[in-house]
Amino acid sequence: SPRPTERLVLQVPARALLEGDTVTLRCRGWEDSVVTGVRFYHEEKGLRGPLKGTELSLSPLQLHHGGRYRCGGWVNSGPSLWWEKSAPVTVTVHGECGNGNG
């Protein structure tokens, strides 16, 4: 369960994720606090590539995109800036029917 001190939350769509889908992961600040310098991590490895602010687009979704994700960023809380990392969230990718994974 999330600690109340967690200032970042990684949001993943709450539906079944299928190969080929367009999926967006969002890094949200607690109570909509401003988050800057967001980075995303997959299995604790930092992801490079084009970042659109606080969103990471996995499109088209592939089986290798499955696994644990988290995000990190600078959270602006009043006069202070904190570097925070979100709790890990597991992404499960379901293969298309007929390829042996469905």
> pLDDT for 64-102, tens place per residue?
999 999 999 999 877 888 899 999 999 999 997 645 544
In a domain, residue 99? The reply is: no
Query: What is the phi/psi pair of residue 64, to 5°?
Result: -75, -5
In a domain, residue 58? The reply is: yes
Please report, for the domain that includes residue 87, its CATH number.
2.60.40.10
How many separate domains does the chain show? 1
In a domain, residue 102? The reply is: no
Residue 6 reports pLDDT greater than 70: yes
Mean pLDDT for the chain overall: 87
In a domain, residue 3? The reply is: no
The amino acid at residue 84 is: E
What are the helix and strand counts (H, E) for the chain? 0, 10
How many residues does the structure list for the chain? Answer: 102
Give residue 18's domain range: 8-91
In a domain, residue 101? The reply is: no
Please state the rounded mean pLDDT for residues 36-49.
Answer: 91
Quote the pTM value.
0.82
